[in-house]
Amino acid sequence: MMGMLDNFRSSAWIYLTPVAAACAPIGVLRTYFNQHLRRPVRRFLPFLDPFVTIDIAAKPEDHSYSYYNSKAKSSDAYAEVLAYLSVVCSRDARQLRAEGADEGHGFVLSLREGQEVADEFRGVTMWWSAVVEDKASHRSSGRCCRLTFHEKHRRLVVDEYLPHVRRTGQDVTVGNRPRRLYTNKNNRDYGSPRDEVWSYINFDHPTTFDTLAMDPDEKQSIMDDLDDFRNNKDYYRRIGRAWKRGYLLHGPPGTGKSTMIAAMANYLNYDIYDIELTTLHSNYDLRKLFIETKSKSIVVIEDIDCSLDLSGHRATTMPPTQDDELDDVASERKRRRGSMLTLSGLLNFIDGLWSAHSGERIIVFTTNHLDKLDPALIRRGRMDKHIEMSYCRFEAFRTLAENYLEVDEHPLFDAIKELLQVVDITPADVAECIMMSKRAARDADACLGSLVHELKKKLEDKEERKKVEEHDAKMATDEKLASENGKKHNAEEDAAAKPNGREAMANGVSESSSFSEEDC
């Protein structure tokens, strides 16, 4: 990204410097013409004015609010144009304004009122000037950037140049600020049109794919997949798919699912939107959140199996349970509220019509229990890539050893390799183990020694557990056999004790007759 910007800067520098120098006196005339003569000339002698102007205002003229169309959008365009022009201005303009950037310690350079700067695109020269509209004479007030170009380039400007300006401006703006970690605000009325639904902090997580411990081939395939996604916008369009990709990260706790998300964000230079589903009231809230996310972002739902009951039907996600006291007002409200956030709402969020909403997006779900999820949620196409984060094996351990201890070979590695083949331990446990011991002993021998000790203990526990399980299984089998034998024995005894039918009848008759005789 920075390479592209540098190219842009250097090529613009080469092209614009002589053009700007040559155009400087013409520029002064044009500025004067724009400010004082354009209106009368255009009105009375339109054929003398072949130039077209477009104003991009700092604030939108129309303050009315439409559904989902935040008023911020228009000022976004202004900010992007300013960011684009700051690169051009810093080289070519003579009278500049400098304002502190919203974030960081830098300045945003812009033109002073009445100044003009030239830019070249596909061999065509465009002129930008800073204009302050007079509130008394026009509807709009405040600053705007005015683009002037020859009428014959109208299509080029509208179809290609302006989108190019916005794209480059976005890259400059996003590239200059730290990554952000957004989370949805709790207890908000998402229905209120002017409500900000996200809050954020700067995201400064140090994890990269280099520090992520996992099988190297698997890691490489994930990085390749991310590259393919990022570089293939046109391909996605050509095959008729929204430019988005879903990843499902599954595995036991402490195997690095959240760490993987941080590594992805740092690799792609994307912001993260972390959605806490349990705070949402309805599908509408989910859609509203999604609409307010920006391009180049990773939308994350962690522990999806715990966030909602998604194992069942698409209709409702919180069916009443025995625990729900239906006469209890609070639980009734909770149930009704839950039933409005549905699995189909979530599916729509992932790949319904709304999912195509502007620009590149990655969606990541994490879970500890893959089997608890509805197959519809995780089928390919929705969650395109399933990544299993597994227990720490030797290759993953090597990464941790390099990171934590700065060793890539050690006499204990063979023993550790053998143990890791039979012992299940999470990378989090390995990391904790070598970090704790490092603090105490401060040398690799002690750290790895303590890891070997931990692994052996786990192995002993595992063998002990296995013995107990085997013993339990044997006991269970013996008990079953004994009870079966007991039943068989009883049945035989019963059979032996019972006389056959004819004898029984004879006995019965004699007994009953003797009884009746006695009775009589």
Ligand X SMILES: Nc1ncnc2c1ncn2[C@@H]1O[C@H](COP(=O)(O)OP(=O)(O)OP(=O)(O)O)[C@@H](O)[C@H]1O
Residues engaged in binding Mg ion (CB under 5 A): 257-258
Q: How far is the CB of 254 from Mg ion (least distance, A)?
A: 8
Q: How far is the CB of 302 from Mg ion (least distance, A)?
A: 6
In the bound complex, which residue of the shown chain has the CB atom lying closest to Mg ion? Answer: 258
Q: How far is the CB of 149 from ligand X (least distance, A)?
A: 52
Q: How far is the CB of 399 from ligand X (least distance, A)?
A: 7
Q: How far is the CB of 212 from ligand X (least distance, A)?
A: 5
Burial class (CB in 10 A: 0-12, 13-18, 19+), 86: buried
**Token representation of residue 69:** 């169309």
| Cα–Cα distance for residue pair 184/176, rounded to 1 Å | 24
Which residues would be at the binding site for ligand X (CB under 6 A)? 212-214, 253-259, 368, 389, 427-428, 431
Q: How far is the CB of 366 from Mg ion (least distance, A)?
A: 6
Nearer to ligand X, 428 or 452 (CB): 428
Nearer to ligand X, 303 or 324 (CB): 303
Q: Which strand (E) or helix (H) includes residue 264?
A: helix 257-268
Nearer to ligand X, 246 or 254 (CB): 254
CA 514 to chain centroid:
92
DSSP category for residue 66: B
Strands ordered across the beta sheet of 51-57:
51-57, 142-150, 124-133, 116-121
Nearer to ligand X, 245 or 257 (CB): 257
**Residue 254 touches which of ligand X, Mg ion, none (Cβ within 5-8 Å per kind):** ligand X
**Token representation of residue 254:** 């402490």
Give the three-state DSSP class for 440: helix
**Residue 16 touches which of ligand X, Mg ion, none (Cβ within 5-8 Å per kind):** none
Maximum Cα interatomic distance, the chain, rounded to a whole number of Å: 146
Buried b (16+ CB within 10 A) or exposed e, 394-420: bbbbbbbbeebbeeeeeebbebbeebb
Nearer to ligand X, 120 or 215 (CB): 215
Strand partners, 365: 248, 301
Q: How far is the CB of 461 from Mg ion (least distance, A)?
A: 25
Nearer to ligand X, 193 or 253 (CB): 253
**Residue 343 touches which of Mg ion, ligand X, none (Cβ within 5-8 Å per kind):** none
**Residue 180 touches which of Mg ion, ligand X, none (Cβ within 5-8 Å per kind):** none
**Residue 212 touches which of Mg ion, ligand X, none (Cβ within 5-8 Å per kind):** ligand X
Burial class (CB in 10 A: 0-12, 13-18, 19+), 246: buried
**Residue 348 touches which of Mg ion, ligand X, none (Cβ within 5-8 Å per kind):** none
In the bound complex, which residue of the shown chain has the CB atom lying closest to ligand X? Answer: 256
| Cα–Cα distance for residue pair 103/82, rounded to 1 Å | 15
Residue 159's nearest CA partner among 193, 122, 114, 105 is 122
**Residue 431 touches which of ligand X, Mg ion, none (Cβ within 5-8 Å per kind):** ligand X
**Token representation of residue 233:** 């916008």
Nearer to Mg ion, 179 or 257 (CB): 257
